[in-house]
Amino acid sequence: MKSKPSTTPRRSQGAAPKVVKTKRTRTRPTSAAAPRPARTQGPRRSSRLRAWGRHHRAMALDSLQRLVRTPLGNLLTMLAIAIALVLPAALWLTLDSARLLDAELEESATMTLYLDHGVSVAEAGRIDEALHANAGVISTRLIDPEEGMAEFQRSLGLEDALTGLEENPLPASIVVRPRSVEPTSMEQLAAELGELAGVEEARLDLAWVERLRHLAELGRRVALALGALFGLGVLLVVGNTIRLAVESRRREIEVVMLIGATHAFVRRPFLYSGAWYGLGGGLLAMGLLTLGNHWLSLPVAALAASYGASFSLPALDFLGSTILLSCSTLLGWLGAWLAVSRHLASIRPR
């Protein structure tokens, strides 16, 4: 029987085997993931600072707008703050003018050295030069007997009555202006100069110096006491106003605290409200002081002119205005902080 031919091709014995090329995929060895660089805190911190600044600006504007919406009631509150600030500020200005007067009187604080009757003009000049060399003396003025008699006659108006005297009974004298006007220092200097040769007596009048010191000390204590008392009044006025504002926004505060707001976040708008109250009260106090100065300046000037002196009421300068506004703003902020901190402790979100 004949066999059927095979359909599969035969490989010839001498033919080389056919090589089939396949694509190899190279696999990279897996290694541990490289560590990511740590994020810098600079951008995050700067963004937080910008957000903090934006929130402060927003709260400042929002608190100011709330005050403008009800101008009459807030103006009355600021007026109460201004009245509480006017009296301490007026006393401060009065003490400032008293310090100026004190400086003028210190320049006129002198002692008089009366020389012996037998001291000649040349010896009086040498004593005057010795006094110039003393460290506790600023200046001296030598008055001879004739000049002393002329001044005595002019001060008493007895020119005709004293012309009949045979000789001048007044000795030569030296007016000494001490470097220190403290009573103890002046007494020590007077005792030292009274021991000089040719000096008969060192006359020193400390009564007016003592009175001036006591009046200045009394004025300072009164001003400090009134300043503390009326400063407490400002705290109470602002604290009561902010307390009412907190109570009116109690529901809003509870909702904000429920979503995670901190006490500092809730406190911030009320602190700006207190600062605005204090600043407005300070501005009104400056206006009241200016009006009072203009109203009283003419009567005070007329009273001083009747005594032959020139005196004008002191006014607030740039430094005084800055101090007044800073103190009023700080008092308003502190009053608001005390009121809000006290009431936030009692608010619990439900």
Is there a single domain that holds both residue 282 and residue 151? no
Contact 146, 88 (CB under 8 A): no
State mean pLDDT over 97-109. 59
Residue 242 lies in a domain: yes
Is there a single domain that holds both residue 92 and residue 230? yes
Strand order, beta sheet including 111-115 = 137-143, 173-178, 111-115, 199-203
Is there a single domain that holds both residue 80 and residue 227? yes
Residue 325 lies in a domain: yes
Q: What are phi and psi of 304, to 5 degrees?
A: -65, -35
Question: For residue 50, what are the CA distances in angstroms to 54, 57, 259?
Answer: 6, 11, 22
Name the pLDDT band for 13 (thresholds 50, 70, 90).
very low
Query: Amino acid letter at 154?
Result: R
State mean pLDDT over 213-221. 77
257-289 pLDDT tens trace? 888 777 788 888 888 998 999 999 999 999 998
Is there a single domain that holds both residue 140 and residue 278? no
Is there a single domain that holds both residue 82 and residue 168? no
* Residue 30 reports pLDDT greater than 60: no
User: Distance between CA 329 and CA 151 in Å, rounded?
Assistant: 57
Mean pLDDT of the chain: 75
Is there a single domain that holds both residue 146 and residue 68? no
287-306 pLDDT tens trace? 998 898 888 888 877 877 77
Tell me how long the chain is.
Answer: 350
Is there a single domain that holds both residue 98 and residue 116? no
Residue 16 lies in a domain: no
* Residue 209 reports pLDDT greater than 50: yes
Is there a single domain that holds both residue 285 and residue 138? no
Query: Amino acid letter at 56?
Result: H
Is there a single domain that holds both residue 248 and residue 323? yes
Residue 307 lies in a domain: yes
Residue 305 lies in a domain: yes
- Considering the entire predicted model, what is its pTM? 0.60
Higher pLDDT pick, 286 / 202: 286
* Residue 182 reports pLDDT greater than 60: yes
**What's the DSSP call for residue 201?**
E
Residue 23 lies in a domain: no
Higher pLDDT pick, 166 / 198: 198
Q: How many domains does the chain have?
A: 2
CATH number, domain at 145? 3.30.70.3040
Domain containing 294: what range?
59-104+210-344
Query: Of the segments 34-48, 73-87, 112-126, 290-304, which one has the largest average pLDDT value?
Result: 73-87
User: Distance between CA 301 and CA 139 in Å, rounded?
Assistant: 33
47-72 pLDDT tens trace? 878 887 887 888 888 888 888 888 88
* Residue 326 reports pLDDT greater than 60: yes
Is there a single domain that holds both residue 75 and residue 222? yes
* Residue 203 reports pLDDT greater than 50: yes
State mean pLDDT over 164-184. 73
Residue 51 lies in a domain: no
Residue 71 lies in a domain: yes
Q: What spatial distance separates the first Cα and last Cα of the chain, rounded to whole Å?
A: 107
Of 141, 136, 114, whose CA–CA distance to 198 is shortest?
Answer: 114
Is there a single domain that holds both residue 152 and residue 275? no
User: Distance between CA 326 and CA 332 in Å, rounded?
Assistant: 10
Is there a single domain that holds both residue 230 and residue 118? no
The mean-pLDDT minimum among 15-24, 44-53, 132-141 falls in: 15-24
Name the pLDDT band for 43 (thresholds 50, 70, 90).
low
